[in-house]
A and B are shown apart, each in its own frame.
Chain A
Amino acid sequence: MRAKLTAAVSTVAMIVMLGASASALFADDSPEIRFQGGRFEPAVLTLPVNTPTKLRVVNAGDAAIEFESFELNRERVVQPGQAITVYIPALGSGSYGFFDDLHHAVPAGKIVVR
C-alpha cells in the first residue's frame, strides 16, 4: 500500500515537474511592440541591461511598416498582420530610438535599457 502511494506521489510530482519545465520552455514572454492605430505601443519599452532579447514586432495596421533603428542597427519590413522577431544584442544602459521608415509622420518610439 505504502509503495503504491509513494509511486503515485512520485508520478504526480513528475507530471507537475514536466508540465512546469514545458511551460517554461514554451513560454512566450518576449517583449512586444505593436503597431496599431498609426502608432507604436508601447512608445517606450524598457529592457534589462546586458541581456540579449528577442523583440516581437507586430503590425496590426493595414499597411506595411518598416521598423527601423539607427542606434540598434535594425531595419525590418513588417507586412500588415505579420509578426516578426528582431534579435537585440546585450545592450548597455541608454535610450535607443526606433521609427517607421515608411511613414515618417508616425511618432517615433524608444527602447530604454536600464
Chain B
Amino acid sequence: MRWPARLFISASALVIAAQLIRPERVNPPVHGDLSAPPAIKEMLSRACYDCHSNQTKWPWYSAIAPMSWWVYRDVERGRQPLNFSNWSDYAADPGTMNEKLDKMAKLLDSGAMPPWWYRELHPESRLTFSDRDAILRWIGVARDPHAQADSVYYPEPSQ
C-alpha cells in the first residue's frame, strides 16, 4: 500500500475513533435571565448568547469531533465568567453586576467580542456600529450608581 493511502486510512480511523469522545451538549435551566429592553436583548441574544447563556443553539458541527471539543470548550469557558442566564445572581450583588457590565462595554467597544472567527461562522452575530452604541448606552443606564465603584472603565458611546 502506498503512503498516501496509509495516511488516509490512518486519518480516517483517527476521526472515527474521535467520535467516541462526545462532550455532553447541555443547556442547564435558566435561573434569572437578563432583563433589558427587547431591542438590546435581541442584539445580545444573537451576538453573545451561544457562549454566554444557558440557551446555546448548538450548531450542527458541534456534534462532530474534533469541532465538538472546540465548541464545548468555548461554551464552557464563556459561561463561567459571564452567563446571562444567571443575571439575577449578578444583580443581587450590584458591584458584581457593574463589573460584568463594565467588562461587556470594554470588550464590545474594542471589537474583541464577539470574536472574529465566531462572526465569520455566524454572520448574524455581527453588531453594527449603531448596535454597539445602543448596547453601550444601555450599559450606562443599567449600571447601579449606588454600588461601590470598583471599575474604572466607562466608555463614551459615539454620538
Identify the interface centre among A68, A73, A78, A89: most chain B CB within 10 Å of its CB.
A73
Asked if A45 CB lies within 8 Å of chain B CBs, one says no
Once the chains bind, are B81 and A70 in contact (CB under 8 Å)?
yes
Q: Chain B contacts of A89 at CB under 8 A? A: 89, 92
Q: Is the interface of A mostly helix, strand, loop or mixed?
A: strand
Closest Cβ–Cβ distance, residue B105 to chain A (whole Å): 14
Once the chains bind, are B148 and A84 in contact (CB under 8 Å)?
yes
Q: Quick one: CB contact mask for A69-109 with B, threshold 8 Å, 1 for yes?
A: 01001111110000011111100000000000000000000
Report if A78-B150 is in contact (Cβ < 8 Å); known contacts: A70-B80, A84-B95. Answer: yes
Once the chains bind, are B93 and A74 in contact (CB under 8 Å)?
yes
Residue from the list B80, B89, B95 in contact with A76, Cβ < 8 A: B95
Report if A75-B89 is in contact (Cβ < 8 Å); known contacts: A70-B80, A84-B150. Answer: no
Asked if B55 CB lies within 8 Å of chain A CBs, one says no
Once the chains bind, are B100 and A75 in contact (CB under 8 Å)?
yes
Asked if B12 CB lies within 8 Å of chain A CBs, one says no
Report if A77-B92 is in contact (Cβ < 8 Å); known contacts: A70-B80, A70-B81. Answer: no
CB-defined A-B contacts under 8 Å, sample of 18:
A70-B80, A70-B81, A73-B83, A73-B86, A73-B89, A73-B96, A75-B96, A76-B95, A77-B99, A77-B150, A77-B151, A84-B95, A84-B148, A84-B150, A85-B95, A86-B95, A86-B96, A89-B89
Besides A76-B96, A87-B92, 20 other CB < 8 A contacts? A70-B80, A70-B81, A73-B83, A73-B86, A73-B89, A73-B90, A73-B96, A74-B96, A75-B99, A76-B93, A76-B150, A77-B99, A77-B150, A78-B150, A84-B148, A84-B150, A86-B95, A86-B96, A87-B93, A89-B92
